[in-house]
């Protein structure tokens, strides 16, 4: 949500930002918001004037009664009653206008950073830098589920019978590798000064609408029937929600967290051959990074966050690259995003394994997260970034560590989490 003062004073700036995001269908929202804001403030002013008039009249009644002017006092009482009825009507209008205005403001996208490249969709994202040498071995790499099946590490057929498509059973060394990667990522981030958190896996609707756009909510979130609760799509949701309606002390900032959670997503429209297996699924686990900071610090933290992901993947010898997300690929609340993509030797291309985003004050305005500073209160900035999200990360790991005999190398950094095993060996039965 943007500052309504900017909408009032610089509506053309808001329109320009909407056009940069290729959301021309939202241009009409600017005029609607301005009309509603004018009506809302007009009603507020009229109601305030009537309250002053009522207070003044109330004081006159006492004086008239002391003077024995009962009839005049009764007439003023009648006027006060009429004024009260008008105020009641105005308060209904005030609530109605306020609700409509808030709904529209929630649909107007956040301002994008000046550095964001213009483009309609992810095809226009811009590569920034490659890290590590993307190698292609001299043997054919099977599909990732075949690699897992060879070591008796996955059962998707049984999962399909139990829960349907988009679910899986991970087993044996693959399940252990999955958990080991999460534990390694947790410790990696703790060593970088982040506080480890396990958050609630369900959140209320007031938090959902605070952390994401209505479009994202509809396409991602699972609603708990009969409850004001949603399953989280990422721990960012409940971690930012932790600060709802909170005034933070400036000297305690920034808050830096690394949070673990299972994640649940509808994944509407997830199709395509490369999205079979465990690439795009309804249930997965993730280690996340969250930062709540002062506005002037968010750009610095943004650079630190995505670099953490690059460093983690490189510590496991997985080649990655960073991509700058273009304007049309940014979700409405995002000011700037960088995706981290891992190299797939099988596909001989990179694929997304993490995304780092600066939301500036968009979430803070929706959730009323403010900072108490020396010169008054102001909205915080919030950022989030994927540390690792297995089992998708497993795809990159397995392909980049597969040997021609089907065995899987375990990098030294992960061995303590795998019982000091150096390899996962296929079942020879």
pLDDT above 80 for 74 = no
- Mean of the per-residue pLDDT values for the chain? 93
Q: What is the pLDDT of residue 271?
A: 47
Q: What is residue 273's predicted lDDT score, i.e. its pLDDT?
A: 37
Position 272 scores a pLDDT of: 44
Q: For residue 55, with 0-12 CB atoms within 10 Å meaning exposed, 13-18 middle and 19 or more buried, which class applies?
A: exposed
pLDDT at residue 269 tops 70: no
pLDDT tens for residues 252-265? 999 999 999 999 99
Residue-wise pLDDT tens digits, 205-241: 999 999 998 888 888 899 999 999 999 999 999 999 9
**Chain position carrying tokens 């790499």:** 141
428 falls in which pLDDT band (50, 70, 90)?
Answer: low
Model pLDDT for residues 397-413, shown as the tens digit of each residue: 999 999 999 999 999 99
pLDDT value for 40: 96
Q: Which two tokens stand for residue 18?
A: 């909407």
Q: φ and ψ at 113, to 5 degrees?
A: -70, 150
Question: What is the average pLDDT across 34-58?
Answer: 92
Q: What are the beta bridge partners of residue 383? A: 291, 358
pLDDT band at 55 (very low <50, low <70, confident <90, very high): confident
| Location of each CATH 1.10.287.40 domain in the chain | 4-105
The answer to whether 340 touches 356, Cβ cutoff 8 Å, is: yes
Q: Is the pLDDT of residue 9 over 90?
A: yes
Alpha carbons 231 and 221: distance in angstroms, whole number: 7
For domain 4-105, give the fold: Helix Hairpins (1.10.287)
Cα 194 to Cα 260: distance, rounded to the nearest angstrom: 12
Q: What string of H, E and C letters represents the secondary structure of the chain?
A: CCCHHHHHHCHHHHHHHHHHCCCHHHHHHHHHHHHHHHHHHHHHHHHHHHHHHHHHHHHHHHHHHHCCCHHHHHHHHHHHHHHHHHHHHHHHHHHHHHHHHHHHHCCCCCCCCCCCCCCCCHHHCEEEEEECCCCCCCCCCCCHHHHHHHCCCEEHHHHHHHCCCCCCEECHHHHHHHHHHHHHHHHHHHHCCCEEECCCCEECHHHHHHHCCHHHHHHHCEECCCCCCEECCCHHHHHHHCCCCEEEEHHHCCEEEEEEEEEECCCCCCCCHHHCCCCCCCEEEEEEEEEEECHHHHHHHHHHHHHHHHHHHHHCCCCEEEEECCHHHCCCCCCEEEEEEEEECCCCEEEEEEEEEECCCHHHHHHCEEEEECCEEEECEEEEEEEECCCHHHHHHHHHHECCCCCEECCHHHHHHHCCCCEECCCCC
Residue with tokens 């021609």: 404
Rounded distance between C-alpha atoms, residue 360 and residue 110, angstroms = 9
* Longest alpha-carbon distance in the chain: 108
Please answer whether residues 127 and 37 qualify as being in contact, where contact means their C-beta atoms are separated by less than 8 angstroms. Answer: no
Q: How confident is the model at residue 130 (pLDDT cuts 50, 70, 90)?
A: very high
Distance CA 194, CA 361 (A): 21
Q: Are 357 and 334 in contact (CB under 8 A)?
A: yes
- Decide if pLDDT at 65 tops 80: no
pLDDT at residue 146 tops 70: yes
Residue 324 confidence class, pLDDT cut points 50, 70, 90? very high
What whole-number distance in Å separates Cα of residue 151 and Cα of residue 140? 17
For 122-424, CATH number out of 3.40.50.1580, 3.30.930.10, 3.30.360.10, 3.40.50.720 equals 3.30.930.10
Residue 425 and residue 401 in contact, taking contact as beta carbons nearer than 8 Å: no
Which tops the pLDDT comparison, 81 or 384?
384
The better pLDDT of the pair 416, 390 is held by 416
Which residues in the chain are classed under CATH 3.30.930.10? Answer: 122-424
pLDDT of residue 277: 83
Segment 378-389 shows an average pLDDT of: 97
pTM: predicted TM-score of the whole model, two decimal places: 0.91
Average pLDDT over residues 176-190: 97
Overall residue count recorded for the chain in this entry: 429
């Amino acid at each position: 949500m943007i500052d309504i003062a900017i909408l009032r004073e610089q509506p053309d700036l808001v329109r320009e930002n909407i056009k940069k995001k290729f959301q021309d269908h939202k241009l009409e929202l600017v005029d609607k918001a301005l009309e509603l804001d004018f009506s809302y403030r007009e009603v507020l002013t009229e109601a305030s004037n009537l309250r002053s008039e009522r207070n003044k009249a109330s004081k006159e009644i006492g004086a008239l009664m002391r003077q024995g002017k009962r009839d005049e006092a009764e007439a003023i009482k009648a006027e006060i009653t009429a004024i009260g009825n008008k105020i009641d009507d105005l308060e209904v209008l005030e609530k109605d206008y306020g609700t409509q205005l808030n709904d529209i403001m929630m649909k107007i996208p956040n301002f994008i950073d000046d550095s964001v490249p213009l483009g309609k969709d992810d095809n226009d994202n811009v590569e920034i830098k490659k890290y590590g040498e993307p190698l292609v071995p001299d043997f054919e790499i099977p599909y990732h589920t075949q690699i897992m099946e060879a070591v008796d590490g996955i059962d998707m057929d049984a999962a399909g019978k139990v829960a349907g498509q988009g679910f899986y059973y991970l087993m044996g060394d693959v399940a252990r590798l999955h958990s080991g990667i999460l534990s390694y990522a947790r410790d990696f981030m703790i060593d970088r000064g982040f506080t480890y958190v396990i958050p609630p896996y369900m959140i209320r609707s007031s938090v959902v609408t605070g952390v994401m756009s209505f479009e994202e909510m509809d396409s991602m979130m699972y609603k708990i029937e009969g409850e004001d609760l949603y399953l989280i799509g990422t721990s960012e949701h409940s971690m930012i929600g932790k600060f709802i309606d909170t005034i933070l002390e400036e000297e305690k900032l920034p808050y830096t967290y690394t949070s673990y959670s299972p994640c649940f997503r509808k994944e509407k429209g997830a199709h395509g051959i490369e999205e079979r297996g465990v690439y795009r699924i309804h249930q997965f686990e993730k280690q996340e990074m969250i930062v709540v900071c002062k506005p002037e610090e968010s750009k610095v933290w943004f650079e630190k966050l995505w670099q953490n992901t690059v460093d983690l993947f490189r510590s496991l010898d997985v080649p990655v690259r960073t991509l700058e997300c273009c304007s049309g690929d940014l979700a409405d609340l995002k000011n700037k995003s960088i995706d981290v993509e891992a190299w797939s030797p099988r596909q001989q291309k990179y694929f997304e394994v993490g995304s780092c985003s600066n939301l500036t004050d968009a979430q803070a305005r929706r959730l009323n997260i403010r900072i108490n500073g020396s010169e008054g209160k102001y909205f915080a900035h919030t950022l989030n970034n994927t540390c690792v999200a297995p089992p998708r990360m497993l795809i990159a790991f397995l392909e980049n560590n597969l040997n021609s005999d089907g065995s899987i190398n375990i990098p030294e950094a992960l061995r303590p989490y795998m019982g000091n095993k150096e390899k996962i060996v296929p079942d020879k039965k």
